[in-house]
Amino acid sequence: MPANLQIVLDNRPTGEASEANFRIAQTETPPLKDGHVLVRHHYLSLDPYMRGRMSESKSYAVPQPLGQVMQGGTVGEVVESRHPGYTPGDKVVGFGGWQHFSVADASQPGSLRKVDTTHVPLSHYLGAVGMPGVTAWYGLVKIIEPKAGNTLVVTAASGAVGSAFGALAKARGCRVVGVAGGEDKCRYVTEELGFDACIDYRTHPDASSIGKALDAACPDGIDGHFENVGGYIFDAVLDRMNAFGRIALCGLISGYDGQPIPLANPRALLVSRLRIEGFIVSEHMEVWPEALRELGGLVGSGKLRPRESVAQGLEAAPAAFIGLLKGRNFGKQLVKVI
């Protein structure tokens, strides 16, 4: 069995996460047992939720254990198999973590899934046709429940979740307005993803300023909102929600370093009779097949053209992750390890 290079969580962050929270380790890959599969990773997924798991504070998932390989989604190739459903060369998606190799118990439902790379590149199964895409699908379809002609807003619009949300919403006949950071990201959102408008929050440093931009982009108000960030942008959106609007609360990346994120005007929730629902997509596995079929079709047809930021080499993962938390990535953040 091959030697395995890993990145483990060495210590928990105080305030902002840093590269010093991680360290490199080398281990021996254990021999395979019946039902197990050895996977050589091609790409690792870096996602904002990982920051929450680095801390010990109460959350929807148990904290990442210290001294163990950093957990996360992976795609790769089967190298050796002792499971009848997998053979060497199969391309698979799993949860192998920040390491070169992983051993998966393929007899456990959901631990490993074969994927077809004929029309969808392997890396996209960690983004648009993976967990981020299904996250967008669930928030849109099951919480926002859009109708044709609705105006929808999504923050972090150029990212893996936001870009999928836009394609899914446009396919349902909605007006879609994104919020992103920088001219290049906003241009990508409108010109390549097909959003109706995109607001550059970097040119609008407070709720009043971005509120005026939202007024211009959403002249009929906002019917549905998909929230990834929190903070003053969320405050501005709340003040412009139409009566009985729906809000899918996916993430609050502005508060991942532990600081509180107050709402400036919670009265808007009552006045507009808004429905707001937080969700964790891994708790809704029943929708994944339907969502993945639609997302795969959008990517395969070219209606969804996801952008990726790819760091090279396992050792680059910590720096790329810190960059993700600071908004330096453009699209889905991956690490290529082969």
How far is C-alpha 83 from the geometric centre of its chain's CA atoms? 30
Q: What CATH number corresponds to the domain at position 110? A: 3.90.180.10
Specify if 242 maps to a domain. Answer: yes
Residue 327 pLDDT exceeds 90: no
Mean pLDDT, range 252-263, rounded to an integer? 76
Helices (H), the chain: 49-53, 131-138, 160-171, 183-191, 207-217, 232-238, 267-271, 288-300, 317-325
Greatest CA separation found in the chain? 62
Is 93 in the same domain as 121? yes
Q: What percent of the chain has pLDDT over 90?
A: 84
Mean pLDDT, range 38-48, rounded to an integer? 96
Is 154 in the same domain as 220? yes
Q: Is 292 helix (H, G, I), strand (E, B) or coil?
A: helix
Q: What percent of the chain has pLDDT over 70?
A: 99
Nearest in space to 222 (alpha carbons), one of 157, 175, 268, 262: 175
pLDDT tier, 47 (very low <50, low <70, confident <90, very high otherwise):
very high
Phi and psi (nearest 5°) for 274?
Answer: -85, 150
Is 67 in the same domain as 135? no
Number of H helices, E strands in the chain: 9, 15
Specify if 94 maps to a domain. Answer: yes
Taking the model in full, what pTM does it have? Answer: 0.89
Specify if 226 maps to a domain. Answer: yes
Beta bridge partners of 225: 153, 247
Which among 282, 298, 319 is the end of a domain? 282
Query: Which range of residues forms the domain containing residue 112?
Result: 3-127+306-336
pLDDT tens digits for 193-216?
999 999 999 999 999 999 999 999
Is 72 in the same domain as 142? no
Mean pLDDT, range 174-178, rounded to an integer? 98
Specify if 68 maps to a domain. Answer: yes
